[in-house]
Amino acid sequence: MTPIRIYNTLAREKQTFTPIDPKNVRLYVCGPTVYDYAHIGNARPVVVFDMLFRLLRHVYGTDHVTYARNFTDIDDKIMLRAADEGVGIKTISKRYEKAYIADMKALNALDPTLTPRATEHLPQMIKMMQALIEKGHAYEAEGHVMFHVPSMENYGRLSRHSRDELVAGSRVEVAPYKRDPADFVLWKPSTEDQPGWASPWGRGRPGWHLECSCMIEKHMGTTIDIHAGGQDLIFPHHENEIAQSECAHGETFVNYWMHNGYLTVDGEKMSKSLGNFHTVHDLIASGENGEALRLSLLTAHYRQPVDFSLSTVREQKRRLDKWYRLTDGVEAADTVPAAVVDALSDDLNTPKALSEIDALADVATAAELKAAAQFMGLLQSSTDEWFKGDAPDGITVEEIEELIAARNQARAEKNFAESDRIRDLLTEKGIVLEDGAGATGWRKA
């Protein structure tokens, strides 16, 4: 078995992955703040680390991997949205949590083992803050609980920022209650009309970083194997998680840190003003194929930037079309081809793995191709479902078949003007005809 190699952000190099306990490999990925639909950039870490989850399960056994992905369901952005709509935060968070789950399912992402929510971990948060205060790593000030950064000797080793650099490069005003400009919030007070929970420091709500530390502590222990997320989370989010957990526990928090690169759209940063903002929800609703979206996100290596465009999605759709044609009626092989597992074991080299799948694109190796593609969360439908779908838009299967029969009648009579007219009619409906040796088949474009 090829060992799994992982690029560890902490070490800035690829390392051989050794789990703490092969019977319980623990992976945590930072999940969404549920205040709006997830965009395609949010989907990248989900798809990428879903691939990691699949690989870990393949190597260590399905029941030996715990994968947690949280929902941040208390946050100022959620509060803002709730206030806008005049509803409670739970209405907002539940709505977008539900949408998120559906969207990620459309991308063939497996359900994580655990999906903890911030608001379900208030007791753990309070306990951790108390421990940090007792150990001199945190203090109370004007209803806030602050983490005192200078109290941690090696703060900043993940992002390789020294406290001094952070203070010097800071773009935000320093709140007056901070003992040190680099200190960050663990707990902040809530006004009467804001959501809040009782605490020894008054009614308030948690800062962003605290939840992950507490959820990991509760569900996975003081030290976990892998913690992953977008590279923008390296600082401050993950740096501060390390500070909280390691100062509270006195133990290593995470052995391997993984961070995915950014996604651009048509070569530019995705933004609403540029008109290139794509939510997964809208992409699926407008007819883009979830599996093609997934494949598009896997065409680049996860640490590299990936450029997203609709033309890429269509291109990858055609690639899948080819694989579906080849594997029609073929039973997937029992084992996943080693070349594909090896590529993925090398720091999740998905472009390599995909090209290894292409190398199997031959009738003689169709069963292997199918096993490999399914391992990567692709070819999850039957060939028939893929090409024909549940129901083509604006035309019934019966109508299609009647038109095909009429066309074949015309063809038999050499009335090609009529047969081409019928084919054009179907093309307009998004139906492509394929004249085979015996019969005429059809598929959705």
Q: How far apart are CA 95 and CA 141, in angstroms?
A: 35
- Show the binding pattern over residues 28-47: x = contacts RNA (CB under 7 A), - = does not: --x-xx-------xx-xx--
Among 131, 147, 234, 136, which Cα is nearest to 182's?
Answer: 147
Least distance (Å) between residue 356 CB and RNA: 8
Q: Which of 99, 145, 210, 300 binds RNA (CB under 7 A)?
A: 300
CB nearer to RNA: pick between 120 and 315 = 315
372 and 356 in contact (C-beta within 8 Å)? Answer: yes
Q: Which is nearer to RNA, 198 or 406 (CB)?
A: 406
Query: Which tokens hold the place of 133?
Result: 């205060």
Pairing of strands 306-308, 263-265: parallel
For 92, other C-beta atoms within 10 Å of its C-beta total: 24
Out of 80, 87, 425, 432, the only residue in the binding site for RNA (CB under 7 A) is 432
Which long-range contacts link 230-236 to residues 24+ away (Cβ below 8 Å)? Answer: 230/30, 230/44, 230/45, 230/259, 230/260, 230/262, 231/259, 231/260, 231/261, 231/262, 231/303, 232/262, 233/30, 233/259, 234/9, 234/158, 234/159, 234/259, 235/158, 235/159, 235/161, 236/159, 236/184, 236/209
Residue 349 binds RNA, judged by CB under 7 A? yes
Residue among 7 and 201 whose Cβ is closer to RNA: 7
Would you say the C-alpha torsion 78, 79, 81, 87 has a positive or negative sign? positive
- Give the residue numbers of the binding site for ATP: 272
Of positions 2, 322, 338, 405, contacts RNA by CB under 7 A: 322
Residues 344 and 321 sit within 8 Å (Cβ to Cβ): no
Q: What does the DSSP assignment read for 352-408? A: HHHHHHHTT-SGGGHHHHHHHHHHTT---S-HHHHHH-SS-TTS-HHHHHHHHHHHH
- The answer to the question of residue 355 lying near RNA (CB under 7 A) is yes
Of 62, 180, 154, nearest to 110 (Cα)? 62
Q: Which of 52, 292, 306, 371 binds RNA (CB under 7 A)?
A: 306
Which of 306, 371 has the CB closer to RNA?
Answer: 306
Does residue number 234 form part of the binding site for RNA (CB under 7 A)? Answer: yes
Pair 240, 146: CB distance under 8 Å = no
Instruction: Decide: is 275 part of the binding site for RNA (CB under 7 A).
Output: no
Q: Does 346 bind RNA (CB under 7 A)?
A: yes
Q: Give the interface segment with RNA, choosing from 130-138, 187-195, 282-290, 307-315 (CB under 7 A).
A: 307-315
- The verdict on 430 binding RNA (CB under 7 A) reads no
Residue numbers 252-271 binding RNA by CB under 7 A? 260-263, 269-270
Candidate ranges 136-144, 196-204, 331-339, 351-359; the one touching RNA (CB under 7 A) = 351-359
Piece of the chain touching RNA by CB under 7 A; list 14-22, 101-109, 118-126, 298-306: 298-306
Check binding of 315 to RNA (CB under 7 A).
yes
CB 161 to RNA: min, Å: 6
Q: Is 230 in the site for RNA (CB under 7 A)?
A: yes
Looking at 111, 328, 331, 434, which residue binds RNA (CB under 7 A)?
434
**If binding is defined by CB under 7 A, does position 412 make contact with RNA?**
no
Query: Rounded distance, CA 270 to CA 266, Å?
Result: 9
- 3-class secondary structure, 411: helix
Q: Which stretch binds RNA (CB under 7 A): 124-132, 218-226, 241-249, 350-358?
A: 350-358
Please count the CA atoms within 13 angstroms of the CA of 263 that sit on its side-chain side. Answer: 28
Locate tokens 């609980």: which residue?
A: 145
182 touching RNA, by CB under 7 A = yes
Q: Minimum distance from CB of 359 to RNA (Å)? A: 6
Residue 49 is a binding residue for RNA (CB under 7 A): no
Q: Which is nearer to RNA, 184 or 187 (CB)?
A: 184
Which one of 28, 155, 184, 375 is in contact with RNA (CB under 7 A)?
184
Which residue number, 167 or 333, has a Cβ lying nearer to RNA?
Answer: 167
Which CB atom, from 181 or from 202, has the smaller least distance to RNA? 181
3-state secondary structure at position 258: strand
Least Cα distance to 279 among 114, 107, 79, 116 occurs for: 107
Question: Looking at 321-329, 330-338, 368-376, 396-404, which segment touches RNA (CB under 7 A)?
Answer: 321-329
CB atoms within 10 A of CB 424: 9
